[in-house]
Amino acid sequence: MLEVLQIPVLKDNYIYLIHDRRSGETAAVDPAEANPVLEALAANGWKLTHILNTHHHGDHVGGNLELKRRTGCRIVASERDLKRIPGIDLAVGDEAVVTFGRFEARVLDVPGHTRGHIAYWLAGANALFCGDTLFALGCGRLFEGTPEEMWRSLEKLRVLPPETKVYCAHEYTQSNAGFALTVEPENAALKERMAQIVELRRQGKPTVPSTLKEELATNPFLRPESEEIQANLGMTNADPVDVFAETRRRKDLF
């Protein structure tokens, strides 16, 4: 069984500890800081064996070197980010497989937010660790990529099994839902999800992970074919890349 421990840090980041009970291996996904990870490891009696980085931004790699120094773990990251992510031991590319205990993490190149962004899909656990490429009800800003690149990346993710749990790296969901309703206000599933999100946040609970099934039904960045979205953008029958680009432009101004 794969255990996933979610650690909230900074303002709205999530670090994930994933632990294979049988092998005892434990990985930290995008450790923004070292101390919260070390405290969680101690509390659970786990030893850190891996760090899985999705991209080079400081709020995803800030704890790398301290954790490596303290635990001797191996750092896995994109081969495109060898000069930007500290401490890489294993540089990987698209479709590489990282063995983690009894599980295999398939690496997916998903550029757009950054040029070296990758995601890790653990099919045996129905778990996707996607950093800042796909959010609950959103997607990352295009800091280093084009709309076409980002859309192709999202296409890779939206064909994964619908039961896949989406472990994104930030708690942006309520704001994302507010924007989603501006482009698809009659989406009944979206309206219902917004009510659930408001209640979760009122209780101080996370809205992450979601499932890919939920995202496909409600996330406008996965839904450029939606007739309602196209109509509200004045882009009926437009190319999905163009609809995605306009949706992302509007989100940047939201």
Return the structure tokens found at 231: 């109509």
Tell me, yes or no, if 170 is annotated catalytic: yes
Among candidate residues 50, 56, 60, 117, the one labeled active-site is: 60
56 catalytic? Reply is no
Q: Map out the domains of the chain as residue ranges.
A: 1-92
> pTM of the entire structure?
0.97
pLDDT given for residue 1 in this prediction? 82
Asked if residue 122 lies in contact with residue 105, where contact means CB atoms within 8 angstroms, the answer is: yes
Whether 19 sits among the annotated catalytic residues: the reply is no
pLDDT digits (tens, 9 = 90+) for 68-85: 999 999 999 999 999 999
What pLDDT score does 182 carry?
A: 98
Separation between Cα atoms, residue 45 and residue 247, nearest integer Å: 45
Res 89: pLDDT: 98
Q: Mark the binding-site residues, compressed into ranges.
A: 55, 57, 59-60, 113, 132, 170
CB-based contact 50:26 (threshold 8 Å): yes
CB atoms within 10 A of CB 234: 8
For the question of residue 242 being annotated catalytic, the response is no
Binding region for Zn(2+): 55, 57, 59-60, 113, 132, 170
Low-confidence ranges of the chain (pLDDT < 50): none
Rounded Cα–Cα distance for residues 78 and 67 (Å): 19
Q: Domain 1-92, what architecture?
A: 4-Layer Sandwich (3.60)
